[in-house]
């Protein structure tokens, strides 16, 4: 849930953290990093980059 919201880029990390019940976005970031292996901001950047790469690659029949 949090990962999808971060990838969409429509909400700040603090807004996502608060909506999930975290009083402190640093605590959310720590928990997110422990689960995903990346900080929320890095996860967001990687997600956008992967999606962009998929959209720009053309399918070529073999």
pLDDT value of position 55: 41
Cα separation, 55 vs 57, in Å, equals 6
**Closest Cα partner for 26 from 17, 15, 34?**
17
Task: Output the pTM of the full model.
Answer: 0.70
Q: Is 5 in contact with 14 (CB distance < 8 Å)?
A: no
pLDDT at site 60: 52
Instruction: Tell me, rounded to whole angstroms, the distance of Cα 60 from its chain centroid.
Output: 30
At 53 the pLDDT is 43
Mean pLDDT of 21-46: 93
Read off the tokens for 30: 């720590």
């Amino acid at each position: 849930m949090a990962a999808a919201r971060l990838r969409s880029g429509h909400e700040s990390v603090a807004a996502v953290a608060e909506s999930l019940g975290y009083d402190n976005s640093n605590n959310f970031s720590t928990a997110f990093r422990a689960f995903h292996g990346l900080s929320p901001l890095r996860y967001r950047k990687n997600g956008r980059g992967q999606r962009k790469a998929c959209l720009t690659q053309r399918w070529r029949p073999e």
